[in-house]
Amino acid sequence: MDRRQTIPKELRYTRNQFDREFPTDDACLEQVKEQRFPGGVAVCHKCEAPRKHYRVRGRTAYACDRCGNHIFPLAGTIFEKSSTSLRIWFQAMYLMGSTRCGISAKQIQRETGVTYKTAWRMFKQIRSLMSENVRLGGSESGAGGVEVDEAYFGGRRKSASGRMLRGDINKTAVIGLVERKGCVAARVTRDVKAETVLPIIKECILPESTVFTDEFPIYNSVPRMDGMGYEHRRINHDQKIYVMGDVHTNTIEGFWSLVKRGIGGVYHAVSTKYLQSYLDEYSFRYNRRDSGNLIFPAMLARVSELASSRPSQ
């Protein structure tokens, strides 16, 4: 089944649409400028007032209509120091945003014609756009509760979840937190001790939420965490009681298998160093799984959200 056919019209963003909207580097620059300084209006540091700015021909700059001082919309963004054409950056972002299960730097190289080294560098930068701090639980999408579970990545063990065994020191531990019908957060951690995991829970899950975990002792103090008021419900995996009413961790396990499949199929192997950014990429897509292929526009929006504030050089 081609799942793309099921995306409602308003949530589609096709390659043709992309080509029409962004035919040239100038069109891409204009987009970044509009996101950061709508209508070209920005505070001019010389005039010390908001002024309208006009494009400076042949440069990635816009000039103040009164004093001519330049602003640079790309300053502080992932594009700033790159010699790669802006349109190729946009193309790579489009490709990364329109896949469901990930894309390799090799594919970006093939589709855009840049060198592998450049593709890899762009890939890393684009992925940095996909790191976000979500807070889970609470009364809206998280009302069904939040599941928390650990997983281990790397090495040769068969199963994604389960406890780290003695001799598993080459594995990387990850804590996942997911709303039953909402968003996910996944963090690489140095270990799975309570003093490491509990602060992550506190940071990611809103007070008064229901938290589902298994019987692992690190979760013992979840119901007694300061000021959090969590309701804690547990499932006993060892006794093979996987689903007991709504007490289960199937949602987070589903997310783990998605990531594992992607890493196995697309990236082949992921070193610990890059694991967090892969998790960010998967989470970003997972958290927008109902937005059809509007993920590219969401990534574009992140470019300006993450840009450092000072526009001038």
Residues binding Zn ion: what is the number (CB under 5 A)?
8
| 241: its two tokens | 């009681």
Smallest distance, Zn ion to C-beta of residue 52, A: 10
CA atoms of 27 and 306, how far apart (whole Å): 21
| Closer by beta carbon to Zn ion, 29 or else 64 | 64
CA atoms of 276 and 173, how far apart (whole Å): 11
| Closer by beta carbon to Zn ion, 44 or else 148 | 44
Smallest distance, Zn ion to C-beta of residue 57, A: 18
Torsion, CA 294, CA 300, CA 301, CA 306, rounded to 10: 140
Among 35, 43, 52, 69, binds Zn ion (CB under 5 A): 69
Binding of Zn ion by 64 (CB under 5 A): yes
Binding range to Zn ion, per CB under 5 A, among 40-48, 105-113, 278-286, 290-298: 40-48
Scanning the structure block, which residue is given the tokens 């008064």? 208
CA atoms of 13 and 2, how far apart (whole Å): 15
Phi, psi of 180 (to 5 degrees): -55, -40
The widest CA-to-CA distance across the chain, in whole angstroms, is 75
Among 4, 12, 46, 100, binds Zn ion (CB under 5 A): 46
Position 74, amino acid: L
Smallest distance, Zn ion to C-beta of residue 39, A: 16
| Closer by beta carbon to Zn ion, 48 or else 238 | 48
Smallest distance, Zn ion to C-beta of residue 65, A: 8
Binding of Zn ion by 49 (CB under 5 A): no
DSSP letter (8 states) at residue 160? S
Report the candidate in 238, 255, 259, 250 with the shortest Cα–Cα distance to residue 153: 259
Binding of Zn ion by 44 (CB under 5 A): yes
Binding range to Zn ion, per CB under 5 A, among 48-56, 233-241, 259-267, 303-311: 48-56
Summarize as ranges the residues that interact with Zn ion (CB under 5 A): 44, 46-47, 51, 64, 66-67, 69
